[in-house]
Structures are given as C-alpha cells and as structure tokens.
Amino acid sequence: MKLITTIIKPFKLEEVREALADIGVQGMTITEVKGFGRQKGHSELYRGAEYNVNFLPKVKIDIAVNDEQVEEIVHVIQHAAFTGKMGDGKIFIFELQHAVRIRTGELNDSAL
Ligand SMILES: Nc1ncnc2c1ncn2[C@@H]1O[C@H](COP(=O)(O)OP(=O)(O)OP(=O)(O)O)[C@@H](O)[C@H]1O
Ligand SMILES: [Mg+2]
C-alpha cells in the first residue's frame, strides 16, 4: 500500500475530487494547509536577521491506496490539478505499512 499526499491550489479541489471519484477512489482526507515552494520562500530581510516567508493557502489531500492504483491516481491528479502556472503543487508518495478498518476489523488492502 501507498499513501499519496498531494498539495494543490484550493480552487482545484473540486475538480481533483471529481476526477478521483470517476476512477473509483473510495476515500480521501483533506486538510487546509499553508506552504511555499520555490518562489515564495524568499526572504525579505528585516532588521538584518528576521525574515518573512509568505505562506500561501493550499489544500492537502491524503489517499491510501493499493500499489496497483498508484500510477493511475497520480496521473489523474496531475491532470486535474494542472494550470501550468507556478504553485500548482506537488505529489509525494509514501510506503504505507498498515491499515485497519475500525468497524469491521479488516486489515491492509481490504481495509482501504
Ligand atoms: N519541498 C517541499 N516540501 C514540502 N512541501 C512542499 C515542497 N515544495 C512545495 N511544497 C508544497 O507545495 C505547495 C506548492 O508548491 P509549488 O507548486 O509552488 O512548488 P514549486 O517547486 O515552487 O513549483 P512551481 O515552480 O511550479 O511553483 C507549497 O505551497 C508547499 O505547501
Ligand atoms: Mg512555486
């Protein structure tokens, strides 16, 4: 199993959610987050030492999936979240060791 963590522009959330539902993704968790990438991290020097970083609002989507689904999901997210402008976001993929479906006690692949 893998955990796919994606950071996108907030206005793209609905499009990404629909595209993922269309390919049968069964669950996801979203979080409103703030972050910066290559452009916005840059420091404004302030009184010599302090600096401001501009954190921009983003949405984080976490999806736990079977290994076979990863490629398609990444492709769909990449397409749905794309504007071609800076700040479109990133996709991070982690190994997922265990999953438990609390109501049934199912484990791992069958728990997703
Ligand atoms: N290296 C990173 N580690 C953790 N989060 C990151 C990283 N890079 C980007 N992010 C997150 O993704 C969001 C969007 O990043 P962004 O798309 O601007 O990356 P970028 O590398 O600057 O690419 P681009 O040049 O297309 O803007 C950031 O606001 C931050 O939340
Ligand atoms: Mg950027």
The per-residue pLDDT for 31 is 98
The first and second tokens of residue 79, run together, are 């397409």
For the chain, give the mean pLDDT.
90
Question: How is 31-92 classified by DSSP, letter by letter?
Answer: EEEEE--TTTT--EEETTTEEE--PEEEEEEEEEE-GGGHHHHHHHHHHHT--SSTT--EEE
Pocket, ligand 1, Cβ cutoff 6 A: 7, 35-39, 56, 58, 86-90
Backbone angles phi, psi at 18, to 5 degrees: -65, -45
**2-110 belongs to which CATH class?**
alpha beta
| Domain assignments of the chain as residue spans, ordered by start | 2-110
| pTM of the predicted structure, to 2 decimals | 0.91
Q: Per-residue pLDDT averaged across 4-21, rounded?
A: 97
Whether the predicted pLDDT of 17 surpasses 90: yes
The per-residue pLDDT for 52 is 56
Residue identified by tokens 């190994």 is 95
Pocket test for ligand 1, best of 9, 78, 90, 94 (most atoms within 8 A of CB): 90
The per-residue pLDDT for 18 is 98
- Distance (angstroms) between ligand 1 centre and the Cα of 37 equals 3
